[in-house]
Structure 1
Amino acid sequence: MKLINKISKVFAVVTVALLSFSCESDKENLIEKYPTIVEILDADAGNFSILKAALVKTDLLNTFRNPGSYTVFAPKNSAFIAAGITEGTIAATTAAADIAALRRTLQYHVLSVGTLSTDFPSNGYISSFSPYGTSTSVTISLHTNKTNGVVLNGGNANGGATVLQADINASNGVIHVISHVLSIPKVHNLIIANPDLSSLVGVLTSAPQAAILTDVTTTATGATSALSRTVFAPTNAAFTSASFLTGQSDANITKVLRYHLVNNNLRASSTTSFASTAQIINTQLTGPQQTIAIAAGTVKIADITTVNATIKTINIQGTNGVAHIIDKVLQPTL
């Protein structure tokens, strides 16, 4: 009898263990499996049929059907229609250049890694999937601000958008639904988007500096274009500290701005080194002693004073040039 009782107890223990294992297996089988980005678009064709049609036209659809990790800023059908883009206009697009332009626009709505809204910069820049000119390694920047929701590139008035619904998880990335189709920005749009550069924007957009604003808004096609511009962009705090600006004439303010502009697209090699060799850079302010200098292996900029500026953010890339945020207003010879 004791042996039978022992066998019964062992059998009961094994049975409980097996049942527990079975329950755990059932729980594992119930783990949610996310659909792909394309499947999510298909499931809400009323909002995303135009986006899907554009992805098909530009041969991008399989990118978001296959395994991977992407972020897609997805404009709704209403946003595409407001931008003059419909399924009909997409179907009628046949010229290779027009298809390529649409592809670049769609790529600007994509990040190369799946990113939740909590991981966007509160006020900063990220790299899109859209290439700069003919480059295979440099892409156009995108600004995010989370002061009041998530705003891209300063909002619709600046060619940007607002995130309407964030963090839709897919098996191959994340979708964020946005209010408008994003315009691929020029460098001045990326400066305008940043509230910490509003003092610079105020000067650039003032009537006496109209020629400067025109210069940085000129269309350019890439790094080899003579119309490309590099902007060393001082922060609001830098303007507050720039006592030498007090009482300066409009003509001298123009000179100061020209001292922050360089022809061509000059990118830094890293956040700690602008270049491996010393750089003497000719600014748009011509004349003796109107260059700036960046020592080898640093992000320190020397002007005519003894206090260097530091580049705080590098390689903010627009379609017509690049900006670097600096912590000082550079002082030329006036």
Structure 2
Amino acid sequence: MKLINKISKALAVVTVALLSFSCESDSENVVEKYPTIVEILDADAANFSILKAALVKTGLLNTFRNPGSYTILAPKNSAFIAAGITEASIAATTTTANIAALSRILRYHVLTVGTLAADLPSNGYVNTFSPFGTSTSTSISLYTNKTNGVVINGGNTNGGATVLQADINASNGVIHIISHVLSVPKVHNLIIANPDLSSLVGVLTSAPQAAVLTDITTTATGATTALSRTVFAPTNAAFGSAAFLTGQSAANITKVLRFHIENNNRRASSSTVFVAPVTPVVTTPLVINTQLTGPQQTISIAAGTVKIADITAANANITTINIQGSNGVAHIIDKVLQPTL
């Protein structure tokens, strides 16, 4: 009998222990259900009613109510008002063109996948949902720098913003609250945003090169317009190694800059294949007519490579492709291309 009692007591202890473990495990395995992006906006109408009104006007609201994975860069009401956008102005937006323009701005505030701040590039470009012109396959780029917080497109002075509050989790993505409404950038804005291209920016923004800067800031609507531009953008290190620039006149510096610009929107279809704006994938060396006219003022990209040949024996390497602005595209290169001067 004593043995039976001992066994019974032992079983009771084990049972209690198992029950306790089970309860603890259940509590640890409870999955928190996050609200949708729209539910988060609804819960803070004082800050996000204008953003919601814009989403309703453009027919985008259901996108962020449904399952998915999105990153929303969300300006507060105060940021929209500072940009001249109010609920009243949104309600008064009725033309197809103006609604499309508002949609393009909103889509520029959406990244292609739900991304926490820690996973945004420290110094790099990502794609948004904002289309390039009428293209359904090409989107406008966005630059993030995390040297001092998260700064988008170089900050407000360049049409960008800073992240005020990051990582608001939703069931269908993540929200980062930003300080300003983002402008859809032109190609020069995306160059200015990148600190590693500051030498190029310094030359472009110098007084003698005002006409060149104006040329790449002109509004264009797509790859087939005469105003679209492709810019091959040398890094700071490339400028530091370009001995041939020493002592050159302002007129020759203009020639060098125009040797890096093409009157097209020429993208790469992959990291090693460039396409001509009007023809299929290039399978022979691609000869590009630059803005610098005259003999030997072309550059070429060997088929299946990212190497650019100029008049010298040393090729430039394209290190970053398809930085897409609203009026053209940039590709970062590791050498200042040398023309005949």
> Could you say which residue in structure 2 is the equivalent of 1:42?
42
Could you list the per-position Cα deviations for residues 284-331 of structure 1 after superposition, in whole angstroms to 9, with x for gaps in the alignment?
111111110111111000000001100011000000000000010000
**Structure 2 CA distance, aligned partners of 1:234 and 1:64?**
39
Question: Does 1:134 find its partner at 2:157?
Answer: no
Give the distance between the partners of 2:131 and 2:300, measured in 1 at CA: 29
Q: 1:14 Cα deviation (Å)?
A: 2.8
CA distance in 2, matches of 1:75, 1:34: 21
Is 1:231 matched up with 2:238?
A: no
| Other-structure match for 1:10 | 11
Residue in 2 that maps onto 1:19: 20
CA contact (8 A) 2:223 2:265 kept: yes
Structure 1 residue 298 corresponds to structure 2 residue 305: yes
How far apart, CA to CA, are the structure 2 residues paired with 1:152 and 1:174?
Answer: 16
Indicate whether 1:111 and 2:123 are aligned: no
SS of residue in 1 equivalent to 2:256 = helix
Q: Which one-letter code corresponds to 1:48 in the other structure?
A: F
| Distance of 2:91 and 2:269 partners within structure 1 | 42
Q: CA deviation at 1:32?
A: 2.4
Task: State the Cα RMSD in Å.
Answer: 1.3
TM-score normalised by structure 1 residue count? 0.96
Could you say what secondary structure the match of 2:25 adopts? helix
Match of residue 102 from structure 2? 102
> What displacement does 1:134 show?
1.1
- What is the SS of the residue equivalent to 1:62? helix
Which range moves more in the overlay, 5-14 or 167-176? 5-14
Q: Secondary structure at the match of 2:248?
A: coil
Aligned partner of residue 177 in structure 1, secondary structure? strand
Stretches of structure 1 lacking an aligned partner (at least 5 in a row): none
Deviation at 1:8, TM superposition (A): 4.1
Deviations 1:230-272 (A, max 9, x none): 0000111111111111111111111111110001100012223
Aligned AA (2:15): V
Mapped to 1, the partners of 2:200 and 2:28 lie a distance apart of 57
CA shift, 1:3, in A, is 3.1
Number of residue pairs matched by the alignment: 333
Q: Is 1:308 matched up with 2:315? A: yes
Question: What residue in structure 1 maps to residue 279 of structure 2?
Answer: none
Gaps of 5+ in 2: 276-281
Task: State the alpha-carbon separation in 2 of the partners of residues 5 and 237 from structure 1.
Answer: 81
Give distance in 1, aligned partners of 2:161 and 2:28: 40
Aligned letter for 1:23? E
Q: Please, what TM-score do these two structures have when normalized by structure 2?
A: 0.94
Please give the residue correspondences for 1:24-173 in structure 2 after superposition, counting only pairs within 5 Å: 24-29=25-30, 31-173=31-173
Task: Give me the whole-angstrom Cα distance separating, in 1, the residues matched to 2:29 and 2:304.
Answer: 52
Shift of 1:136: 1.1
